[in-house]
Structures are given as structure tokens and as C-alpha cells.
Structure 1
Amino acid sequence: MPSANYDAIVLGAGAAGLMCAAIAGQRGRRVLLVDHADEAGKKIVISGGGRCNFTNIHTAPDRYLSANPHFAKSALGRYTAADFIGMVERHGIRWHEKTLGQLFCDGSARQIVAMLLGECELGRVELALSSPIGEVGHDGNRFTVALPGRIATAPRLVIATGGPSIPKMGATGFAYDLARRFGLKVVEPRPALVPLTLGGEEALFRTLSGVAAEVVASAGKSRFREAALFTHRGLSGPAILQISSYWRPREPIAIDFTPDTDADWLVRTKRAQPRTTLRRALAATLPDRLAEALSERLALTTELANTPDRKLAEAALQLSAWRFTPNGSEGYAKAEVTAGGISTADLSSQTLEARRVPGLHAIGEAVDVTGWLGGYNFQWAWASGWAAAQTL
């Protein structure tokens, strides 16, 4: 079988892999970028509703989950959101900021893929699509990768195949299998930024499917104020996706349906409007269907004047920390990213190189670094890809 030699082989033509290959190629390295898919950047194309939330101007290490919360600091500090924005603007891609620092293309996410492919062309990167990866070996000096009809070899190999989230796009746990083969530890992967499901008594809230409201969702010490959406299976929306990354099975989450009130607000409302009801009081800030469901669950459907202050105080407290205990999540099929992954304890934070396997690197979602919703995971992909490319 014929073989070809490269300076580096990058496995995975997603966000991190494209970035890493492009930068390494522009540094004069002969790079092979491999993917089993028939086109590059498939997850990029569907991201952000087709407009790609490509970074977040508030990127900071404390917005990432990892067994080592300090690991992402080096890469994020050396390749920033401003750096990627500079690349976007050099390619003439128009963009806009939405809420909370999220940046999107004015046009299509395909513009970002085209930009990255253009950067790969500048670096003369060889792109091998529709190329299932066979046996991967290492003789101590060079890595070998079996591809359809040929063998590729290089002293450097980059794992950039992501995690198993969104399997319909071809995502698998290949990165973890390969890492384990080389003796790297893997932090147990799990779906993240994913809708949560409800069962039992809480399934009654399914009647609210399609209703959304701004809330504060919390799990442990983590809190997010954004929209929550009731679905036919449970809870979704940005606030829930965010908190799902911190949620653990059998643990509750708390929803504050009245984040702009204090503990005495219902008692004060009773004094000012004794003939109003809890439903009407809640409907001032919440959708009417949700206000009705909450007041019925609290068994407070009469005028506030007929309710003792103690019961109103108890209701206000429950509304500010309504506990749900999800019975699961919608899994990798609906997860935007995968939490966990290749252990940062086995990687250099500066080069993303395996400590005990010289020449082996892991970047992007394959690594145990998971960002918040809103462009943070793309910024980790760009930054980790750039950092690894500096030593290829």
C-alpha cells in the first residue's frame, strides 16, 4: 500500500481541526487534514440556527467546565475572541452581536467554513474528506494512519474529532478510543448544553409545551438568567441548556420564576391590590398559561385578601426556587456539546501535547474543556487549535 509523509496529520475537519491545520500549514508545515465526512465543518454549518455563533466577546476561563479549571487559560489568553474577529473581518464577513456578547454572521455559517477552508488553502493543507480512519499506530518516532488506499505518516498527530454530541452529523467517541489506546485518561463524557426531561408529577408541566419565560436557573452554586422553555418532554431554552452542564442525575435544579422580586412582594401586592389573584399578579411578568399553572400548583386561586400572609410568603419563596428533579436529558442527539473527554491532566496546557506521548495532541471538544452556551465552545476550538499549531 502506498504511503505519504507529512509534518502533521490532523484527524477531524471540524472547527478545531480546520483552525489547527490552517495555522500549521501557514507556518510552513506539510499538513494532512482527514475526515470521514463528505464535507468539512458540518457542525459549523448547522450552528447558531445556520448563522454560526462563532465567538463571544466575554470569553474568560471561568466560563468553561473542566476537571482542571485553569487548563484553558493559556490557549484562551494567547488566541482571543478579538483575534478570531480579526480573521472574520479580513475575509469580509459581516457580523452582529446578539445578547450576552454572542457574535453571529449576518449571512450564513457557511461563510465561516469557507473562510477556514480558504485559510487551509493558504497553508497548502491537503484535505482528505470521505476518508474513514483505519488503524492508527506509533513506532516511537512517527505516527501512521491507515486511510482508504494509502498510509499516511507524520511525527505529529492531532486528535480533533470532537465528542459524540449530534450523532446524526457523524459524531462518535472515536477521540476517546484513540486517546485510551495511547494511554491517555478520559474523564467520563456526558451530554452538555442539552434539554432536560421531566417525569412523574412534574410531567404535568408538559401541558405548557411551547411556553417560555425569563428565569434564573440554578444547580449548586451555578446560576444563569435567561429564557427557559417548557417542552413536551421537559425543560429547554438557554437557561436550561446552560444549567444542564452543571446538573447531575438525581439532583434537583431550581427555577426562580420571579427574579426581580423580594420575599415580601406577594404580601405587599395583597396590601395594594387585595382583590387581585396570584395568577393575575404573576401574569404581569409571566405568560398567562404559566401564571395559571403555577397558581394552581400552589393551590392559590382566590383573591389575595383571602390568603394569610404566611401562605403568601411561602408561595413567594417557592416561586423563587421552584425545584424540579429531571429524570434525565435528551442525550447526545440533542446535546450541543459533550462535557468530559480527554483528561487535561495528560496534556500540556500550552501545546495541547500529550505528556507521555511526544507528538500526540488533542484539541477542541475532544478535550475535557466545555464552554457555556453562546460561542464559548467555538472560541475554545479556535484557541486550542491555534495553540497546538504553534508546535506542529
Structure 2
Amino acid sequence: MIWDAVILGAGAAGMMAAIEAGRRGRRVLVIDHASAPGEKIRISGGGRCNFTNLHIAPERFLSQNPRFALSALKRFTQWDFIARIDAAGIAWHEKSLGQLFCNGSATQVVDMLVRDMERAGVTLWLGCALGEVRREAAGFAVETARGMQLARAVVVATGGKSIPKMGATGFGYRVAESFGLPVVETRPGLVPLTFAEQELTWMRPLAGVSLPGRVSCEKIGFDEALLFTHRGLSGPAILQISSYWREGEPIHLDLLPGRDVAADLRAARQTQGRAALRTVLGNWLPERLARHLEEATGVTLPVGALSSATLDRVAALLRDWRLVPVGSEGYRTAEVTLGGVDTRALDGRTMQAAGVPGLYFVGEVVDVTGWLGGYNFQWAWSSGWAAGQAV
């Protein structure tokens, strides 16, 4: 039998493409080497699946061509996916910054997608290894552990390299390169940052300390929580900035965003003159961090004895604490992969490869990476939907 479409990968984008193609009457086969579909969906959002975001916009996606994603995102929006969640009876709630989560388990989303595939007549093969994909007269031949499969179209939805313990590989990039398509250099994204030993010496005692702050790099910044760890820095603000940070660059921490710290310290000099600096800082910051910052400033006198210049120096540290990471925790803990199949080689409306009719790339394997908070799932839904309308 010749399939109308063979979809490689049973993640968010692959299942979405399969549903749409199946609903259009196509004979669709989805193949995944994992033993269960939608594993990244299942573990996302602490098991509650941050399935989209209310504030989807092209500038919140990283790519060599950020506007590439616009067509798919406009044609299948967050509101469209929310409607499917509602129709499936899945209760959800909004958290901070427009992030939408299931009230219950993320498996509800996986179950919805699998059910929709079944209703659309899609065939799903799990635990099936993939081999070479090559052009044939009738379309494509896909080597699988269950034998050669022929298809008029192939949709590559194999994800990126992030979280290899879940079976993530660079398979999709190799397929692209085998057809002569360019691949933008890949690297871990949305990942904790690591530091040299001299920094870790003082960071380790702060492990577990979390606080709201602003983390910036170059011209971009994020106001979210940051977390000290035994290996460096994590938390939403750090994960966000990691996608923009490059080796050798500093990051800047504002520990009290929105406050006039210099004015607050001057006021404390009048009202808490006998207090140590760590005590005053402890009014606004976690106690362990306040102690470290006192040591970092070298201040030993009580606040009442400090000059305005010294208070300004302390305020400058709190508002712009410059740190230089040495790296990240890598694909082991990265939530996404930056880079991927070059968008210049794809049609933004259909996700079809230029010069290779019938070959499509969707989801994380493409050089489109969203911010933390449901953006990458929305790209998966939107790009999968777009390919599913075309195969």
C-alpha cells in the first residue's frame, strides 16, 4: 500500500499534522520509536501541560527569520487550540504572563490527540525504529523496523535534541541534509546556565534561593523568577535569557526591578541607622542572598554610617549585577533546541521543503523556537496544522 502521508514522530506537531490530514480523507501513518505518544506533552508544565499562551506574537519566537512563523500562527491560533481543549472537556486555567495549563494531568491532552487521530482514521506505530528516507518515483520510501513504507508525502516531526533520555536525536536534521536542505546550527535553549568554580563557591550556599527579578542580555530582558542552584542559575527568567545568551557574554541581574533602591537605602539610613546592611537588604531579599550581597560589597559598617556614594554603589550592584556564565546544562535539561531546518528552505504556508515536493518539516525540528510559557507548543500545533492542510 502507498500511504498518502507518513509522519515521522508522534509528538505535538506530528499528531496535529496527522489529525488534519486524516480529517481530509488522507491515508496517514504516524511512526515513533518511543513506546508512547506525546512524551514531551506528558512531562511539560510539571505534568499539567502549558499547552499555549494568550500572548502569541512573532517577536516571541527566535529564528533567523522570525516572521516565518507568522503565517502558520495566524491561520491556526491559540484560540483555535483552546477551542479544541474546551470541546474535549479539559479544564484549564491561566497562570502568569498568559500561560495556560490543564487543571488536571497533561495526559488529557495526549489522550485528546490520540483519540482525534483514531477518529480521523490515522494509523499509529509506536516502538518502531526509523531508517533512511529517500525519493522514489511514487513519492518517498521510508525504512522502518516493520519494513519499507511508501508514501506520497513525508512529514518530519521528530523534534530536536533536547532531553535525550526521552529518546531525542538529531534524526530530523539528518533527513533534511540528505535532501540538500540547510540546517541552522543547533544549541540548547530554555536551559539553566552554569558558572566557573570561583562563582560556584559562593553560589552553592545560596542553592534553593528563589526571587523575582529581571535578567537581561544585550537588548532583551525578562521579569520572572530566578533560582540559585548547586550548578549555577535557573528559574524562568534564566531559562528565557539562555535562548539569547552566547558564550563569553555577561548576563545582568536586577534583583529589585521597579524599585528606586538608592532612595530606599537612604530612607533606611534614617530609620534603621544601627542595622547591618544585610538586615536592611533582608527587608526586600531572601536572608541568605542579603548576607552574600553584604559580603560582596565589602560593607562592614552599619547603614547609618554609610556615605551616599557607598549606598549608590550598593544600589548599582542590586540593580545591575553582572555575571558571566561559562555554559549551560546542555540538552540534558534543555526544554527546546534552538536552530534547525533553515526556514529559507521551507514554505511558510505549507511547511513544504523548497525543491522537494511532498517533504514537510514541522515543530521543533524547524529553526523556530518560542519563549518559555506555551509558545513552543503553539508552534507545534500551528505548524502541524499547516502541513496537515497541505499533504
* TM-score normalised according to structure 1 size: 0.97
1:331 maps to what in 2? 330
1:196 maps to what in 2? 193
Give structure 1 stretches of 5+ with no counterpart. none
1:220 maps to what in 2? 218
> Quick check: 1:34 aligned with 2:55?
no
1:358 maps to what in 2? 357
Aligned counterparts of 2:229 and 2:195: Cα–Cα separation in 1: 10
Q: In the TM superposition, what is the alpha-carbon distance from 1:272 to its structure 2 partner?
A: 4.3
1:178 maps to what in 2? 175
Contact 1:340 1:367 in 2 (8 A): yes
1:261 maps to what in 2? 259
Amino acid at match of 1:259: P
Contact 2:128 2:146 in 1 (8 A): no
Alignment equivalent of 1:79, drawn from 63, 76, 80: 76
Q: How does 1:77-226 map to 2 (within 5 A)?
A: 77-139=74-136, 141-203=138-200, 204-226=202-224
1:289 maps to what in 2? 288
Amino acid at match of 1:359: G
2:235 maps to what in 1? 237
Deviations 1:134-190 (A, max 9, x none): 221103651110112321111211110000100010000111111111111111111
Q: How does 1:13-24 map to 2 (within 5 A)?
A: 13-24=10-21
Q: In the TM superposition, what is the alpha-carbon distance from 1:284 to its structure 2 partner?
A: 1.5
SS in 2 for 1:258: coil
Amino acid at match of 2:217: A
Aligned counterparts of 1:66 and 1:57: Cα–Cα separation in 2: 21
SS in 2 for 1:6: strand
Q: In the TM superposition, what is the alpha-carbon distance from 1:202 to its structure 2 partner?
A: 1.4
2:57 maps to what in 1? 60
2:3 maps to what in 1? 6
Deviations 1:306-360 (A, max 9, x none): 2221121122112111011111111100001111111111111111111121111
Identity of aligned residues (%): 54
Aligned counterparts of 1:349 and 1:278: Cα–Cα separation in 2: 56
* TM-score normalised according to structure 2 size: 0.97
Aligned counterparts of 1:301 and 1:258: Cα–Cα separation in 2: 22
Aligned counterparts of 1:230 and 1:110: Cα–Cα separation in 2: 31
2:388 maps to what in 1? 389
SS in 1 for 2:51: strand
Contact 1:56 1:375 in 2 (8 A): yes
Give structure 2 stretches of 5+ with no counterpart. none
Aligned counterparts of 2:20 and 2:281: Cα–Cα separation in 1: 54
Number of matched pairs:
389
Contact 2:272 2:280 in 1 (8 A): no
Aligned counterparts of 1:301 and 1:259: Cα–Cα separation in 2: 25
Q: In the TM superposition, what is the alpha-carbon distance from 1:227 to its structure 2 partner?
A: 0.7
Contact 1:267 1:313 in 2 (8 A): no
Amino acid at match of 1:7: D
Q: How does 1:260-279 map to 2 (within 5 A)?
A: 260-262=258-260, 264-265=262-263, 266-279=265-278
Amino acid at match of 2:358: G
Amino acid at match of 1:139: E
Aligned counterparts of 1:101 and 1:191: Cα–Cα separation in 2: 24
Q: In the TM superposition, what is the alpha-carbon distance from 1:267 to its structure 2 partner?
A: 3.0
2:22 maps to what in 1? 25
Deviations 1:9-59 (A, max 9, x none): 110000000011011101111111010111111111111111111111111
Aligned counterparts of 2:150 and 2:51: Cα–Cα separation in 1: 32
Aligned counterparts of 2:57 and 2:161: Cα–Cα separation in 1: 25
Using the TM superposition, name which of 144-153 and 37-46 deviates more.
144-153
